[in-house]
Amino acid sequence: MKTIINRIAILVLAVVLSIGFTNCKAVQNANNKQKGAVIGATGGAILGAIIGNNVGKGGNGELGAVIGGVVGGTAGVIIGNQMDKQAQRIEEEIPGAEVERVDDGIVVTFDEGSGVYFATNMYNINSASETTLNKLIGVFKEYPDTNLLVVGHTDSQGSEDYNMTLSKNRAYAVTNYLTSHGISGSRLTTNWFGETQPMYDNTTAEGRAKNRRVNIAILPNEKMIEDAKKEASN
C-alpha cells in the first residue's frame, strides 16, 4: 500500500461544534440542527479524506473539531517529514489500512478489509480489531506530539436516527479503547456522521461493509508546531 499525498484543499461548509484539538472534551453532537463555520483549507482537505465525496452536499452530523491551517515554510517541511515517518510506520504495522498523507496530517481509514471493522448493527471491538488497534496504539505512543480525531460512520440500513447513534457508539468504542490502553484523552476528539457520508455504494453488500467504517485523523499538536518553528529558526 502506498501513502497518498493529497495537496488539494477542499473547501467545506460543515455543521460545527467548535472545539480545539488541545481540549480533552469529547464532542456531544446529538443535536443535528446546530450550525457552524467555514473550515479552513487544511481542515477541508482532511475532512474530505474522512467523509468522502459528499463534502459540501449536506449531511447531519456536526464536525467536532476545527482543523487549522497548513504550517508553511521550513517548519512545515519539518512537520511533514515527521508525519511521513509516522504514516510509514502505520503502513508497516497495519498493511491493510488505507493511509493518506493530507497536508500536515494523516488520515487512516478502517473498514471490513483493513482490520478494524463492525458487523451490521454492531459497535463492539472484536478480537481482530483489538489486534489492529494495539499495533496502532504502539505507533501513537512513538509519536506523542499529535492529536487524534476519531470519526464513526454506518451504512444506510436502518433509520437515520438509529444510524447516527450507531456511528457515535462505533466512534466511542474506538476512542475508549485507545484511552484504556494508554493514549491520553487530551489527544482525542470523537465525532460521528451516521449514514450521511458514504464513500461506497450502499446498494451492494460490499459497499455497505466498507461504509461501516471508522476514520482516524492524526494532526500535529501545538508542541510539535512550536518545536518545528524553533528548529526552523536555528
Domain assignments of the chain as residue spans, ordered by start: 4-233
Query: Would you place residue 52 in the very low, low, confident or very high pLDDT band (cuts 50, 70, 90)?
Result: low
Query: What pLDDT score was predicted for residue 203?
Result: 94
Q: What is the DSSP string of the chain?
A: ---EEE--PPPEE--B----TT--PPP----TT----EE-HHHHHHHHHHHGGGTTS--SPPB-----PPP-HHHHHHHHHHHHHHHHHHHHH-TTSEEEEETTEEEEEE-TTSS----TT-----HHHHHHHHHHHHHHHH--SEEEEEEE---SSS-HHHHHHHHHHHHHHHHHHHHHTT--GGGEEEEE-TTSS-SS-TTSHHHHHHHS-EEEEEEE-HHHHHHHHHHHH-
Amino acid letter, residue 64: G
Q: How open is the CA angle 228-80-220, to the nearest 5 degrees? A: 65
pLDDT at 120 over 70: yes
CATH number for region 4-233? 3.30.1330.60
Mean pLDDT for the stretch of residues 101-111: 83
pTM of the complete model = 0.74
Mean pLDDT for the stretch of residues 74-98: 90
Return the higher-pLDDT residue of 155 and 112: 155
pLDDT at 62 over 60: no
